[in-house]
């Protein structure tokens, strides 16, 4: 596996977008103010992404109320060459996973989530073929190519 990017879970997406794009001057590689997801060019191929925190709630064990108590503000994201094999390995090792590998056509990936021993949120994902992406995502992708 390889670390592909870090994703910050944010409540005020627009303020964070302006901070990373305008204040820090990071190049936007996806998204815009008013969206719910954006990524910024980092170094050595690693990117920084921001994502509207409430949209992760249905994919992990959060409600809007307990998210602030759990305080997931950051998630490590790893690309997996084979998500099903990764999941099977975690199960075999006794790692408790939040969910099983599942398709997210609106995100263009298959993904699963788990926590490290300190409780930090981790996503493993594998890109879906573009023909499996949602129409909205394909339309957005055209803007950034």
Mark the ranges of the chain whose per-residue pLDDT is less than 70. 24, 43, 57-72, 117-118
Tell me the pairing of strands 47-52 and 37-40. antiparallel
Sheet holding 47-52, edge to edge: 28-30, 37-40, 47-52, 2-10, 74-79, 121-127, 109-115, 102-104
CATH number at residue 132: 3.10.180.10
Domain housing 63: 2-144
Q: Helix or strand or coil: residue 129? A: coil
Helix and strand element counts for the chain (H, E): 4, 8
Distance CA 100, CA 112 (A): 5
pLDDT at res. 6: 84
The total domain count for the chain is: 1
pTM summary value:
0.65
To which H or E segment does residue 137 belong?
Answer: helix 135-144
pLDDT tens-place string over residues 80-107: 889 999 899 888 888 888 999 999 999 9
pLDDT at res. 72: 67
To which H or E segment does residue 37 belong?
Answer: strand 37-40
Distance CA 16, CA 98 (A): 27
């Amino acid at each position: 596996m390889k670390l592909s990017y870090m994703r910050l879970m944010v409540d005020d997406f627009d303020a964070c977008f302006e901070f990373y794009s305008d204040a820090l001057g990071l190049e936007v590689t996806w998204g815009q103010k008013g969206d719910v997801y954006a990524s910024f060019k980092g170094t050595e191929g690693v990117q920084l992404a921001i994502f509207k925190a409430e949209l992760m709630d249905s994919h992990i064990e959060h409600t809007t109320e307990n998210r602030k108590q759990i305080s997931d503000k950051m998630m490590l994201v790893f690309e997996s060459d084979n998500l099903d094999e990764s999941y099977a390995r975690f199960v075999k090792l006794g790692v408790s996973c939040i969910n099983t590998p599942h398709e997210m056509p609106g995100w263009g990936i298959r993904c699963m989530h788990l926590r490290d021993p300190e409780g930090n949120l981790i996503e493993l994902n594998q890109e879906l073929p573009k023909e499996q992406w949602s129409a909205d995502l394909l339309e957005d992708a055209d803007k950034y190519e």
